[in-house]
Structure 1
């Protein structure tokens, strides 16, 4: 099985996570997608060239909206 370039492995995530601001304690609306999955969604869109609105929900990266 080949490595997908939009998958953030543990080593890369260990470098990126400390740079992100903390999430607010409570906010109205639906629960946000975890930061790591959101980043993977962004990388998927950049790698494939699809429009953000067409991000497949099945991947679990969020809705793209």
Structure 2
């Protein structure tokens, strides 16, 4: 077994290279507006942080570096 990661929600490059091709492309925008704010990898890290910790999506602090918790929640449920 490998060394245990101190932050298991961080997705290593090797794993990301396997996951990224499996993610669907975002749907085309119907109206011009803001671009997608949270990259897919960052959203995945957010989801991997929230699920085992049980923190509520709306209480996820921006200082953790994941972006909006509600955005990550929408990505998970979409």
What TM-score do the two structures reach when normalised by structure 1? 0.79
Q: Distance in 2 between matches of 1:24 and 1:41?
A: 21
How many residue pairs match? The answer is 64
Unpaired runs of 5+ in structure 1?
none
Runs of 4 or more, structure 1, over 4 Å off, are 24-27
Q: Which range moved further: 38-47 or 2-11?
A: 2-11
Calculate the aligned-residue CA RMSD, in Å.
2.0
What TM-score do the two structures reach when normalised by structure 2? 0.68
Q: Who is 1:3 aligned against?
A: 6
Which entry has the higher C-alpha Rg, 1 or 2?
Answer: 2
Displacement, 1:23? 3.1
Unpaired runs of 5+ in structure 2?
71-78
